[in-house]
Amino acid sequence: MKNPLLLKYRSWALVCISLTCIIGVLFLPAIPQLPGYHGLADDRSLLGIPNMLNILTNIPFTLVGIAGIRLLAKEHALNVLVELKACYYWFFTGIAGVGLGSIYYHSDPSNDTLLWDRLPMSIAFMSFFCIILGEYVSIKMAKSLSYPLLLVGAGSVLYWWLGEKQGHGDLRIYGLVQYLPLLLMPVILLIYPAKFSHGNRYWVFYGLYGLAKVFEIADLPIYQLLGFISGHSLKHLAAAAGCAVFLSQLITRKAH
């Protein structure tokens, strides 16, 4: 797409989708945390530790996060945009934090412990979105938006948590942080050229994350069907597998 008019329309498509979602969400009533959110299907204990399988299935997050950080520290180990190296660090730090924060949450499920699960998750969401923006749309735009988006992500979690403390929690902004990038990323992948090879692995990442959300919704039915593992535990494994696919892409891809 070399035509300036087409380039302009391409950018405006992203702006229009974003504004439509933001305005639409702001017109919704406040969305509090569901009362039964912390009641997961599989609460079995092992060695006196409750929710043991939900805890153990978070370990892959931390392993992938640490591996990503270690490889980023080695020169030429990963093929990344140098200008956005901080975003890759933030992503893998967030993923490592998701594992630790989720372990903490599942050891004693409550809104207070969930805060430490969602904070690193919001960092991972926003940094990954900036990586996609930089690799497909504009490095300059991604760099300028990176820290504002990270602050919005963390702020959305704190806004929800503080609201819950006062009896009127609101997940609308956190929902935007999580789902608006999921809506925009496939559009970006379709209408912008990639700066690296193996771009198809982003679709694998996207598919595994979508599968993780299905597992999360079907937590109890999956546990009733399988008996040995719940949908929530499978959610952890699917999402961590998506992160591992992304890391493998960074190792093997080449710049165009």
Is the pLDDT at 2 greater than 80? The verdict is: no
What is the reported pLDDT for 8? 65
Q: How far is CA 197 from the centre of its chain?
A: 22
C-alpha 101/C-alpha 56 separation (Å) is 12
Q: Report the percent of the chain where pLDDT is more than 70.
A: 97
What is the reported pLDDT for 67? 98
The mean pLDDT of 1-12, rounded to a whole number, is 65
What is the reported pLDDT for 69? 97
Is the pLDDT at 125 greater than 80? The verdict is: yes
Strand partners, 46: 49
Is the pLDDT at 194 greater than 50? The verdict is: yes
Q: Are 206 and 185 in contact (CB under 8 A)?
A: yes
Q: How confident is the model at residue 11 (pLDDT cuts 50, 70, 90)?
A: confident
Mean pLDDT of the chain: 93
The mean pLDDT of 64-74, rounded to a whole number, is 97
Q: How confident is the model at residue 76 (pLDDT cuts 50, 70, 90)?
A: confident
pTM, 2 dp: 0.93
Mean pLDDT lowest among 83-97, 106-120, 186-200, 210-224 = 186-200
Q: Report the percent of the chain where pLDDT is more than 90.
A: 85
Is the pLDDT at 16 greater than 60? The verdict is: yes
Q: How confident is the model at residue 209 (pLDDT cuts 50, 70, 90)?
A: very high
The CA–CA distances, whole Å, from 1 to 5, 37, 139, 156, 233 equal: 9, 46, 18, 36, 43
The CA–CA distances, whole Å, from 95 to 67, 99, 245, 250 equal: 10, 7, 13, 15
Q: How confident is the model at residue 6 (pLDDT cuts 50, 70, 90)?
A: low
What is the reported pLDDT for 152? 97
Residue ranges of domains in the chain, CATH in brackets = 36-252 (1.20.1070.10)
Q: One-letter amino acid identity for 102? A: S
What is the reported pLDDT for 255? 86
The mean pLDDT of 1-18, rounded to a whole number, is 74
Is the pLDDT at 1 greater than 50? The verdict is: no
DSSP letter, residue 192: S
